[in-house]
Chain A
Amino acid sequence: MATAALEIVRQSATSGGVVGALAPKDDFQVVKLIDTSKCIGCKACQSACLEWNDLREDVGVNVGVYDNPHDLTENSWTLMRFTEWENAESGKLEWLIRKDGCMHCADPGCLKACPSPGAIVQYSNGIVDFNHDACIGCGYCIKGCPFNIPRISKANEKAYKCTLCVDRVSVGQGPACAKACPTHAISFGTTVEMKTLADQRIADLKSRGFRNAGLYNPPGVGGTHVMYVLHHNDQPEAYAGLPYNPRISPVVELWKGATKYAGFAIMGLAAIAGLVHHTVMGANRVSDRDETEGERIKEGGK
Chain B
Amino acid sequence: MAIDPQTLEKHAVSRYSTGARVNHWITAISLILLALSGLALFHPWLFWLTALFGGGSSARALHPWIGVILFFSFAGLFFRFVSLNIWNRDDTEWMKNIGDVVKGREEKLPELGKYNAGQKLVFWGMSLLIVALISSGVVIWDKYFDHLTGVDQKRWAQLFHAWLAVGAITIWIVHVYAAIWVRGTIRAMTRGSVTAGWAFRHHRKWLREEAKKPADIAPKA
Using CB atoms and an 8 Å cutoff, list the residues of chain A in contact with chain B. Answer: 13-15, 115-117, 134, 136-140, 142-143, 148, 152, 157, 249, 251-252, 254-255, 259-260, 262-264, 266-267, 270-271, 274, 277-278, 281, 283-288, 290-295, 297-302
How far does the alpha carbon of A255 sit from the alpha carbon of B165 in the complex, in Å? 13
- The answer on a CB contact under 8 Å between B196 and A274 is no
B96 at the interface (CB under 8 A from A): no
How far does the alpha carbon of A65 sit from the alpha carbon of B94 in the complex, in Å? 68
Question: Contacts A252-B155, A264-B43 hold; do A288 and B143 have CB atoms under 8 A apart?
Answer: no
- Shortest Cβ distance from residue B168 to the other chain A in the assembled complex, whole angstroms: 10
B209 nearest CB neighbor, chain A only? A301
Which of B83-91, B125-133, B200-208 has 4 or more CB atoms under 8 Å from chain A? B200-208
What are the residues of chain B within 8 A of A301 when measuring CB–CB? 208, 210-213
In this complex, the member of A13, A139, A152, A157 whose beta carbon has the largest number of chain B beta carbons within 10 angstroms is A139
- The answer on a CB contact under 8 Å between B60 and A291 is no
- Shortest Cβ distance from residue A229 to the other chain B in the assembled complex, whole angstroms: 27
How far does the alpha carbon of A157 sit from the alpha carbon of B65 in the complex, in Å? 16
Question: Which listed residue, A274, A291, A299, touches B197 by the CB 8 Å rule?
Answer: A291
B29 at the interface (CB under 8 A from A): no
- The answer on a CB contact under 8 Å between B207 and A157 is no
B42 at the interface (CB under 8 A from A): yes
Tell me the interface secondary structure of chain A in the complex.
helix
- The answer on a CB contact under 8 Å between A294 and B169 is no
Question: Which listed residue, B57, B173, B212, touches A157 by the CB 8 Å rule?
Answer: B57
Residues of B102-160 whose CB lies within 8 A of A:
102-104, 106, 140, 142-143, 146, 151-152, 154-156, 158-159
- Shortest Cβ distance from residue B199 to the other chain A in the assembled complex, whole angstroms: 6
How far does the alpha carbon of A266 sit from the alpha carbon of B42 in the complex, in Å? 14
What are the residues of chain B within 8 A of A281 when measuring CB–CB? 102-104, 181
- The answer on a CB contact under 8 Å between B200 and A251 is no
Question: Which listed residue, B44, B151, B159, B196, touches A14 by the CB 8 Å rule?
Answer: B44
Question: Which listed residue, B104, B140, B196, touches A295 by the CB 8 Å rule?
Answer: B196
- Shortest Cβ distance from residue B12 to the other chain A in the assembled complex, whole angstroms: 9
How far does the alpha carbon of A81 sit from the alpha carbon of B78 in the complex, in Å? 52
- The answer on a CB contact under 8 Å between B173 and A294 is no
Question: Contacts A115-B44, A277-B181, A285-B183 hold; do A290 and B169 have CB atoms under 8 A apart?
Answer: no
B217 at the interface (CB under 8 A from A): no
Question: Which listed residue, B104, B154, B174, touches A143 by the CB 8 Å rule?
Answer: B154
How far does the alpha carbon of A284 sit from the alpha carbon of B50 in the complex, in Å? 37
